[in-house]
């Protein structure tokens, strides 16, 4: 087929786009219906150390904050109402708009995929910017203050190739917090020896395999389309796919 896009190379839309949208819908419905499935709702960011919460079992259903905020943004009218609700509650306009969409969804008690906002069973989040753990501290308060919350500071500075070497104390700083969080999770949920490193490992292998398979294939996929399915990188969900 002749390329009419003006690009240097021929491009084509993702053939799996329809299927990706279905999986995405299932993902958000799984979070909503987690309790009917006998599982738990985990709220946290899309960039996460998945192996820790997935250690609780295969029935942990996440809601990753940034893709959810982006999904709200796609529904322009709903997004405006969320932003207005956040502003009315006193949150400054220059805070992250994904975060304000998320808070607005709680304040309005409306889930972007139908029904009231599903209250998470726990929040486990890493602090990758000045807002990320604060995002969930505030979400917890908006939910009534009774959602267990654990935040991990990953502000340990650049790692290779941006830093000349791997500094042991930086790795230890993050690793110690992760180990503490495992103890917290084991005591809170009264389980012993959680851990899902094989799940995380399997997900990474799958991700790299897909990356290699994709090399050389140019896809006409806008950044916004890519972000709308970015929660698929979430460890356990990828394995289940
Ligand atoms: S990293 Fe910070 S600015 Fe980016 S989505 Fe998360 S909270 Fe918002």
Q: Determine the distance separating the centroid of ligand 1 and the alpha carbon of 216, expressed in angstroms.
A: 31
**Per-residue model confidence (pLDDT) at position 158:** 80
**Per-residue model confidence (pLDDT) at position 216:** 61
**Pocket lining: 95 vs ligand 1, CB cutoff 6 Å:** no
Instruction: Spell out the domain ranges in the chain.
Output: 17-231
d(CA 48, CA 45): 6
Q: Determine the distance separating the centroid of ligand 1 and the alpha carbon of 96, expressed in angstroms.
A: 6
Paired tokens of 138: 């505030």
**Cβ proximity of 126 and 151 under 8 Å:** yes
Q: Specify the ligand 1 atom closest to the Cα of 66.
A: 5
Helix/strand/coil for 222: coil
Q: Determine the distance separating the centroid of ligand 1 and the alpha carbon of 150, expressed in angstroms.
A: 17
Low-confidence ranges of the chain (pLDDT < 70): 1-7, 10-11, 192-199, 211-241
d(CA 139, CA 147): 9
d(CA 60, CA 76): 30
**Pocket lining: 230 vs ligand 1, CB cutoff 6 Å:** no
| Residue 207 dihedral angles phi and psi, to the nearest 5° | -60, -45
**Per-residue model confidence (pLDDT) at position 224:** 62
For residue range 146-186, list pLDDT tens digits in order: 999 999 999 888 877 778 888 889 889 999 999 999 999 98
Q: Determine the distance separating the centroid of ligand 1 and the alpha carbon of 4, expressed in angstroms.
A: 36
Whether the full predicted model's pTM is greater than 0.95, yes or no, is no
Task: Return all residues near 18 (Cβ < 8 A) that are at least 6 apart.
Answer: none
**Per-residue model confidence (pLDDT) at position 240:** 39
């Amino acid at each position: 087929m002749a390329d009419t896009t003006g690009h240097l190379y021929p491009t084509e839309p993702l053939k799996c786009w329809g299927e990706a949208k279905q999986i995405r819908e299932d993902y958000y419905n799984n979070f909503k219906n987690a309790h009917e499935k006998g599982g738990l709702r985990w709220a946290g960011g899309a960039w996460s150390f998945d192996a820790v919460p997935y250690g609780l079992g295969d029935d942990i259903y996440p809601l990753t904050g940034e893709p959810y905020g982006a999904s709200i943004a796609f529904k322009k009218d709903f997004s405006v109402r969320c932003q207005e609700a956040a502003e009315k509650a006193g949150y400054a306009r220059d805070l992250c708009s994904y975060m304000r969409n998320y808070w607005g969804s709680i304040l309005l008690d409306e889930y972007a995929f139908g029904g009231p906002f599903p209250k998470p069973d726990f929040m486990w989040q890493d602090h990758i910017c000045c807002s990320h753990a604060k995002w969930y501290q505030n979400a917890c308060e908006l939910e009534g203050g009774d959602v267990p919350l654990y935040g991990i500071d990953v502000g340990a500075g650049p790692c290779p190739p941006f830093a000349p070497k791997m500094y042991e104390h930086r790795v230890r700083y993050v690793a110690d917090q992760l180990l503490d969080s495992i103890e917290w999770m084991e005591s809170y949920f009264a389980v012993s020896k959680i851990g899902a490193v094989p799940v995380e490992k399997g997900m990474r292998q799958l991700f790299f395999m897909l990356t290699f398979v994709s090399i050389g294939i140019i896809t006409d996929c806008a950044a916004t389309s890519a972000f709308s399915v970015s929660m698929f990188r979430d460890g356990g969900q990828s394995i289940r796919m």
